[in-house]
Amino acid sequence: MKVVLLQMDVEWAHGKANREKAERMILGCPGADLYVLPEMFSTGFAVEPEACAEQNGESLEWMREMARRTQAAVCGSVAVKADDAFYNRMYFVKPDREVVAYDKRHLFTYGGEQLRYEKGMQRKVVEWRGFKFLLQVCYDLRFPVFARNVDDYDVAVYVANWPESRRRVWDILLKARAIENQCYVLGVNRVGNDPVCQYDGGTVAVSPYGKVIAECGDTAEEGCVVELDKESLNAFRKKFPVLLDRDEFSLIR
């Protein structure tokens, strides 16, 4: 499977401009099976969502159109208002318009996200062209129990607005999640600035061995391409069956 990870600078609270930029980046990397955008790619990380959270599904409809045009899946998170509440909602959109939505479980209390947004209650895995993808958003990366692979996914996808000041943590934990879960990890972060933070990227694909196999340049607005190999993943899990020795426990679903 060919995946394109899109590392972009996000213009603050300007959905139209950000969608247009993302569209140019997607069309500039043709032939993928999946395109992954950062967290809140249409607005930036808005902890006060009243002025910019989407109610009419503009970004979702755009994602559906891009999936149709490219005949690929498109993934990323958006600030949305639904049922009189706000959610940091990650969409995985397929070319037939099917949508799987995951609401961010671990809200970033250090930044006040929990004061405005409702946390998600369900863990989401989506199947696409022979792979199973676990959907995760930014701060979720710090909570390994919620992401524990119970032999139900092949790829963990983390979309983020992870600041430069904590970049080392991002780099380490992406590799840790790949190693402990015997899976590919895709980490897509933004670059640029918002009113609070600076972002220097760190968008990578990590192999089940914890090795970086594709990456964007620091601070660069660009896409990087990675090929995921299901046969080699299965062979590794069979040869070195770590997941079979995991501890038994229950996850919130």
So which residues are the catalytic ones?
A: 39, 104, 138
Kindly provide the b/e burial profile for residues 23-43, where b requires at least 16 CB atoms within 10 angstroms of the residue's own CB.
Answer: eebbeebeebbbbbbbbbbbb
Residue 186 has which token pair? Answer: 């895709």
User: Which residue in this structure is represented by tokens 């500039």?
Assistant: 28
With H, G, I as helix, E, B as strand and everything else as coil, classify residue 158.
strand
Q: What residues form DSSP beta bridges with 227?
A: 2
With H, G, I as helix, E, B as strand and everything else as coil, classify residue 143.
coil
Torsion sign over Cα 90, 133, 228, 147: positive
Q: What single letter denotes the amino acid at residue 204?
A: V
DSSP single-letter state for residue 211: -
Distance of CA 88 to the CA centre of its chain: 12
